[in-house]
Structure 1
Amino acid sequence: MIAWAGSCRPRCQGFGSWGGVGVRGRFRSLGQGRYRDLGARPSLVCRPLLPAGRSRLRRGCAGRAGPGHEGGGGRAGALAAAAVTAVALAVAAWRRARPVREVLFFPSRPCCIEALLAEAAEPGAPARPCPCPLPSGDTALSRLVRRLLSARRSLDLCLFSFSCPQLARTVQLLHRRGVRVRLVTDAQYMGLHGSQIGRLRHAGIQVRHDQHSGYMHHKFAIVDRRMLITGSLNWTTQAIQSNRENVLVVEDAEYVKAFQEEFERIWEEYNPANYRFFSERH
């Protein structure tokens, strides 16, 4: 059996070793089992010791280690585990830093989003089975809901038509969670049967609409002033389940800035203080 000069030396000097990494030249053979201490120099090279020198080295290490001295395997294992953890955290941070680039295509098959809403409402709570017969898989609708639920500070919506109950529940949940929600919509379509605008207003969400003959035909959302969700999709059950639609989800500062400025301009233009209920001509 061969003992390595670095197997316990690093702990005696106050620094660890990685598996076979030891200390080069720490002990020099003087013959007849005698070794000279030359000072610790970290290296990736280790030298075997003969049996006589091995026992002397072990006695020297044991004398220097003192209380709390652990085995070489334990120290090396702890260092290896710490390195693996550091790498995992670095990879996770890199993935989080990557900007979102996603395209969603509709129609989306009917799905249950109760699990998503329950997790967002009570993070970490045990999952409760939903009695509805719909499957809960990965669909374009569920991905859209996840992007919306990522909002932490603000959600600005500019939508021509909004009658999908599932998306309305998602917006209400964000509002209850403290996210500032603002909604701009079309005056004519907000009054249609099935529209969710009244429900959202009743929940306390700020809603503004146009007051002229043209349509407010935008379909976009801005999450936390960093992520843009836009495309051809009206937020209606008909469009989600039956129409050929597209939604682009991007984290791009230039695009977000342009859409945010457009939203702020419309939001101010549709301020109720600016409404005209009577003609200026008498």
Structure 2
Amino acid sequence: MTMFFNKIGKTLLVILSIAFASNVAYKFYNKKKRKERSEINEVIMFSSGGSNLKQSKYTRFQISNSMDRLLHYLNSPRSSIDICMYVITSQDFANVILKLHIRGIKVRVIMDADMAFTSGSVIKRFHKYKIPLRWMKSTYLMHHKFCLIDTMDDVEKKSMPLVIMGSLNWTNQALNGNWEDVVVTSQKDLVRQYKTEFERLWLQFKPIVDLT
């Protein structure tokens, strides 16, 4: 009789162990899947004639799917957007940034000092609306092309910090003609390193206070 109960006890122990292990594995799998769904890792390619034009809710003009995806992310900030861009001449992108600024999103822009005055530059529009701008007059280029979304320290927890980086300048030629690449990611290590670089330049560069 004792042997019988011992066997039952061992069987129950095995069953309970399997059930516990299955439950742990199930929770781990679900946690992993939730993490995968919560991360953003997207590559956006721009190429001459590489995409049919489409209607977009972000502009009244027909645009490529690549530009639509990029505008989707640029319209997503809930707290802040920091832009470090060699040159900006795209009025579509300027309109997005100005709308964010008017909505109360914290906007900061770093640009190359020489390219700030290139034909079609949006810097005067930004300056008119008192968007904080900085540059460094130098014989070298400020050649970065990246953008940080919702990386301020006081950002809402429900927001997902992003970095947008790649070869793309925010110009009509780059958006509609050149072969360019853009990476959008929420990977924390990458976001952190780009944020560190932006803050370093923001302290090092000088405010643009007079464009007359």
Relative to the length of structure 1, the TM-score reads 0.54
Cα deviations by residue, 1:229-269 (Å, 9 ceiling, x for unpaired): 00000100011100000000000110011000000000010
Q: Distance in 2 between matches of 1:196 and 1:173?
A: 14
Letter in 1 for 2:83: L
- What residue is the counterpart of 1:116 in the other structure? 58
Letter in 2 for 1:181: V
Q: 1:102 aligns with which of 38, 42, 46?
A: 42
Pairing of 1:32-111 with structure 2 (within 5 A): 94=34, 98-107=38-47
Q: Distance in 2 between matches of 1:178 and 1:270?
A: 24
Shift of 1:272: 3.8
Letter in 1 for 2:41: R
Cα deviations by residue, 1:133-190 (Å, 9 ceiling, x for unpaired): x436x61111101101110101000000100000110111111111100000001001
Shift of 1:221: 0.1
Q: Distance in 1 between matches of 2:170 and 2:144?
A: 11
- RCO higher in structure (CA 8 A, sep ≥6): 2
Unaligned runs of 5+ in 2: 1-29, 152-160
SS of 1:157's partner is strand
**2:96 is aligned with 1:161:** no
SS of 2:62's partner is coil
Shift of 1:201: 1.4
Q: Distance in 2 between matches of 1:109 and 1:268?
A: 42
Q: CA RMSD in A?
A: 2.3
Shift of 1:198: 1.1
Q: Distance in 1 between matches of 2:167 and 2:82?
A: 17
Q: 2:130 aligns with which of 204, 218, 221?
A: 204
Shift of 1:203: 1.5
Q: 2:177 aligns with which of 219, 227, 242?
A: 242
- What residue is the counterpart of 2:100 in the other structure? 174
Q: 2:74 aligns with which of 115, 136, 148?
A: 148
- Alignment check: 8 A CA contact 2:39 2:186 kept: yes
Q: Distance in 2 between matches of 1:207 and 1:174?
A: 15
Q: 1:109 to 1:212 in 2, by over 3 A?
A: farther
- What residue is the counterpart of 1:262 in the other structure? 197
- Alignment check: 8 A CA contact 1:100 1:249 kept: yes
- What residue is the counterpart of 2:15 in the other structure? none
Letter in 2 for 1:251: S
SS of 1:215's partner is coil
Shift of 1:94: 4.1
Cα deviations by residue, 1:60-109 (Å, 9 ceiling, x for unpaired): xxxxxxxxxxxxxxxxxxxxxxxxxxxxxx9xx94895200100001366
Shift of 1:197: 1.2
Identity of aligned pairs, percent? 32
Q: Distance in 2 between matches of 1:213 and 1:111?
A: 41
Unaligned runs of 5+ in 1: 1-89, 118-129, 274-282
Letter in 1 for 2:118: L
Q: 1:176 to 1:269 in 2, by over 3 A?
A: same
Q: Distance in 2 between matches of 1:139 and 1:212?
A: 37
Q: 1:178 to 1:97 in 2, by over 3 A?
A: farther
Q: Distance in 2 between matches of 1:135 and 1:258?
A: 35
Q: Distance in 2 between matches of 1:168 and 1:189?
A: 15
